[in-house]
Amino acid sequence: MKKKDLVIAVSLAIMVIAISSALYAGGIIIITPPYKVRDLAKNFLRYSYNPWNGKLTSYALNVVSAIIWDYRGLDTVLETAVLYSAVIGITVLFRGIVEIRGLKHRGLSLLVKMPSRIVIPLIIAVGISLAVHGHLTPGGGFQAGAVATVTPALIITIFSIEALYVLKLRIQKLFLMRTIAFIGILMISISLFLYSLMSLTNAYVLQNMIREHSNISMPHWFIDVPLAGSVFLYNILEFFTVFAGLTYVFIVYSMRRKEVENMWEEVETYE
Amino acid sequence: MSEILQAIFTIVVTIFITNMGIALYGVFSRPSLIKKTISLVLFTDSINIIAISIGFRILEEGYPKPPILPKIPETPAELEYFVQVSVDPLLQALVLTAIVIGFAINMFIIGLVKIYYRHYGTTDIRVSLEEGKHEKNN
């Protein structure tokens, strides 16, 4: 057993030294970050918000958001599908769970409960603002959803899982919300294409702004703020998918003994 | 100034490569599945930080800016200045995708660990190995 540990340690040390020396081979010991970014990155930076070149821009001030939802939009739709399939996998693993209300619960002391009552609405507000301003400031749909999911985790630890049931956050409802938001993302990605079929013009799937050979676009200006068209809508819907998916997983993982009892029976009959 | 920045950059990258090695050690030789999962998360995060650091750049004077326009540009020259001082946004976008996918995988792994715990009453991986040997002998 000790021999095995030694072999692992030595081989990992060799790996670390090999990767480091491969990275530093260009300079002498010190690795030098470049003075200029790559041409690809330059193009992204230049065209993300560029009213002087209408055919390549996406009117988003946040370049990362523009890349995620516009220039490389297909990647992100598939990434959302991966998250969705993980939630489905957890549903299959934990089949047979039932939510039971009215079990004994206490939660933490009043000293913890009172401040968290003040903090929890603030966290949700921060999450929503990150989602709504995702194309203008640092943030975006996934980050916003992850921030907002802190609240169910806090509620489960501080009050009890019963408090979530009182707030009507049931797992069926969350799963429905997640599915509707995911279908919404898919519908927005093909909405301009469907519109072009009806009005007999050209459009692409996942199109946002005016492109070559296509003259239709999502709205890119709302009163006096840049809206970035589909980036804004995707951010909002991604917020809902991530919030519903992660809250679902939190609830399933913090079920109490009486609620998961039936899971055992189902697994045994399956075997 | 840029020499100090380079030295700090080198130290940070080396630290995260070492961190990668330590995390892999945890994945290989810790028997507890929870500790294996934690090590896997650390491994992914170290790789993500190395990937972001590839997009880093230095300037002749001043510090590089994040790839977010501070205000709506009014002239093409303003936009060109932003291009000259900003870091690479593509790697940040790709790392965000990697984080989300890693998150989905970790969620599922933790579910599997919970099922394992309910079946065996422990998260020690050796228990299931011994049980498998026992069944083979019979």
Mean pLDDT of A26-38: 69
Amino acid at A110: L
- Flag whether the ipTM exceeds 0.90: no
Query: Would you state the pLDDT for residue B46?
Result: 92
- Spatial distance between the Cα atoms of A60 and A222, rounded to a whole number of angstroms: 13
The pTM for the full model equals 0.89
Q: Would you say B84 and A80 are in contact if contact means Cβ atoms under 8 Å apart? A: no
The secondary structure of A116-128 as a DSSP string is: HHHHHHHHHHHHH
Give the distance from CA B109 to its chain's centroid.
17
Max mean pLDDT among A219-223, A244-248, B47-51 falls in: A244-248
- Spatial distance between the Cα atoms of A140 and A234, rounded to a whole number of angstroms: 9
- Residue A169, φ and ψ in degrees, nearest 5: -95, 80
- Spatial distance between the Cα atoms of A69 and A234, rounded to a whole number of angstroms: 7
- Spatial distance between the Cα atoms of A209 and A229, rounded to a whole number of angstroms: 7
Mean pLDDT of B110-130: 88
Query: Would you state the pLDDT for residue A183?
Result: 95
Q: Binning pLDDT at 50, 70 and 90, where does residue A267 land?
A: low
Cβ-defined contact of B68 to A137 (cutoff 8 Å):
yes
Query: Would you tell me which residues 14-33 of chain B have a C-beta closer than 8 angstroms to some C-beta of chain A?
Result: 14, 17-18, 20-22, 24-25, 28-29
> What is the domain partition of chain A in residue ranges?
59-270
> What is the domain partition of chain B in residue ranges?
2-64+88-137
Q: C-alpha distances in angstroms, A223 versus A51, A167, A219, A226?
A: 16, 36, 11, 8
- Spatial distance between the Cα atoms of A83 and A81, rounded to a whole number of angstroms: 5
The chain-wide mean pLDDT, for chain A, equals: 87
Find chain A residues with C-beta within 8 A of B67's C-beta: 44-45, 62-64
Q: Would you say B6 and B58 are in contact if contact means Cβ atoms under 8 Å apart? A: yes
Q: Would you say A89 and B111 are in contact if contact means Cβ atoms under 8 Å apart? A: yes
Find chain A residues with C-beta within 8 A of B115's C-beta: 93-94
Q: Inform me whether the pLDDT recorded for A87 exceeds 90.
A: yes
Check CB contact of A110 with chain B, cutoff 8 Å.
no
Fold of domain B2-64+88-137: Helix Hairpins (1.10.287)
Query: Would you state the pLDDT for residue A29?
Result: 52
